[in-house]
Structure 1
Amino acid sequence: MRILSIQSSVAYGHVGNSAAVFPLQRLGHEVWPVLTVHFSNHTGYGAWRGPLLDPADVREVIDGIDDRGVLGTADAVLSGYQGDPAVGAVILDAVARVKAANPDAVYCCDPVMGDVGRGMFVRPGIPEFMRDEVVPRADLITPNHFELDFLAGTTTTTEAEVLAAVDAVRARGPRQVLVTSVRYDDPGWEGEEELLEMIAVSDDGAWSVTTPLLPIAPNGGGDITAALYLAHLLDSGSPAVALERTAGSVFAVLEATLAAGTRELQIVGAQDAIAVPPTRFAARQLR
């Protein structure tokens, strides 16, 4: 597959394109990374250096790809953090151009806006732009639990409520939804181990995978998850298979990160588990 990935980039560590490109390549896909920022490191450190690219410069790079006559051959467009509505407009224009040439191309949007415990961490206006302009144009979205609640305009505390919120969002555009980092106050699971749930929903049904909750929360986890799920969904055509493969690989990366005692995802060290996803977690059909 050929994937146009329009995201941030860091020199040190793994977020944005720096978390998505290598895993996609390790799976054998051709990736065209377009950068929206190029920072020394992710902003979680509290200090960083490097440029926030002007939307016109981002458009120039995409235009240059189009000049080669290949933009319309992309099988998918992947986007993540959008720091400015003007960058979002450039991304949507690129999606429209790709789809005009290849109607079967898929737009996967990771609607990065916030998280539980942190609230919204993007600039004012970005959440509304994402909800009203970007998400309705996407074929696949990969919000976390917090972001799903914002997009649906509700608060979800049970699996049934999460599914209802997903259906509300799907009614506005995206047919495929992957919800990450789902946690409930009273999940009803047996045992005392804390778990995280991922839920995939399409026209064909809904599936869930639960994994142990590890005592780390590194930046970039959502970026690699969105990239891997997109790749496995397009490759298999099955949300359940894509869910199982994504969960196996991401959990292996997180385990390696925990063992290394670092705050940066061990994507390179765990690359074999990306190329051949462990069959560790089985998908459970919800409906």
Structure 2
Amino acid sequence: MKTILTIQSHVAFGHVGNRAAVFPLERLGCEAIAVNTVQFSNHTGYGQWTGTVFTPDHVAEVLRGVEGRGAFSHCDAVLTGYMGDPGLGDVVLSTVSKVRQARHGALYACDPVMGDVGRGFFVRPGIPDFFRDRAVPAADIITPNQFELEYLTGRPIADLATALEAAAAARALGPKVVLVTSLVRDDAPSGVIEMLLDTAEGSWVVATPRLPLEPPPNGAGDCVSALFLAKLLETGDAAAALGHTASAIYAVFDATRAAGVRELQLIAAQDELVAPKRRFTPAKVR
């Protein structure tokens, strides 16, 4: 059984941040140690919410307690996502360093949550710089969306060639694995949404049908990062992890569409997190 320390946001209602990551991790057989960076009533996409952004000192105190239980020596990976406070960056990177010292081979998977196409940046000033300059170079795996990849590399993406160039540029910053969680390109087949995986061993694209979800549900990137990390730790095969991740998140989207609601239907689709009924196979493109 793999153990993952996940440092992300928390909402009482809905599924984003740790609420979108912990359940998939556990359904895939991982032990999840969840440390929350915020506690909100709901995700901010609604425009109204209540709650608190936890201070870096608060998060560091919780992590000290976790470390005191000897948990760092059992962690196979650290997963991080949305950060409400740029000062949290030092706490996160210090924790990654401690986990790596306590557990040889532990991975750092960084979801550089900053913004999205059409919305632009939605995080506090300083956080994008932290991701680009410090977190991404320290990470083994990054899972940006297309907007975030363009920011990290300064490379606009229009087609598969430019997407591959941007992914390679991101790997040159330090990570060994780059998973682009949502890719829209001019030369893609119509009616699909894609994910792109880039590693030193090769690159793969997987396409799934674009479902009519309006507004698009929040938290999908958080769920994708958790699914991919869990399957990568289980199999050691990045392409296989990509195929499973795309198939599982499609099942979640399909259940969400069928329910006619805005929040990801993780509970309704829980069996397909483990064994998706409809499988999508990645195609090697490099």
TM-score normalized with structure 2 length: 0.97
Residues in 2 aligned to 1:94 and 1:208: alpha-carbon distance in whole angstroms = 33
Q: How far does residue 278 in structure 1 lie from its aligned partner after superposition?
A: 3.4
Residues in 2 aligned to 1:57 and 1:261: alpha-carbon distance in whole angstroms = 38
Alignment partner, residue 259 of structure 1: 258
Q: How far does residue 200 in structure 1 lie from its aligned partner after superposition?
A: 0.8
Alignment partner, residue 273 of structure 1: 272
What pairs up with 1:1-287 in 2 under 5 angstroms?
1-184=2-185, 186-189=186-189, 193-216=190-213, 217-287=216-286
Residues in 1 aligned to 2:171 and 2:13: alpha-carbon distance in whole angstroms = 36
Any gaps of 5 or more consecutive residues in structure 1?
A: none
Aligned with 2:258: secondary structure? Answer: helix
Moved >3 Å (runs of 4+): none
Residues in 2 aligned to 1:24 and 1:43: alpha-carbon distance in whole angstroms = 23
- 1:104-160 CA-to-partner distances (Å, cap 9, x unmatched) read 000000000111111111112211111001100000000001110111111010111
The letter for the 2-side match of 1:172 is L
Q: How far does residue 188 in structure 1 lie from its aligned partner after superposition?
A: 4.7
CA contact (8 A) 2:55 2:85 kept: no
CA contact (8 A) 1:201 1:239 kept: no
Residues in 2 aligned to 1:33 and 1:95: alpha-carbon distance in whole angstroms = 14
Residues in 1 aligned to 2:41 and 2:151: alpha-carbon distance in whole angstroms = 31
Any gaps of 5 or more consecutive residues in structure 2?
A: none
Q: How far does residue 279 in structure 1 lie from its aligned partner after superposition?
A: 4.8
The letter for the 2-side match of 1:51 is T
Q: How far does residue 7 in structure 1 lie from its aligned partner after superposition?
A: 0.3
Counting matched residue pairs gives: 283
Residues in 1 aligned to 2:174 and 2:200: alpha-carbon distance in whole angstroms = 12
Aligned with 2:164: secondary structure? Answer: helix
The letter for the 1-side match of 2:89 is G
- 1:201-228 CA-to-partner distances (Å, cap 9, x unmatched) read 1121111101111122100000000000
CA contact (8 A) 1:248 1:279 kept: yes
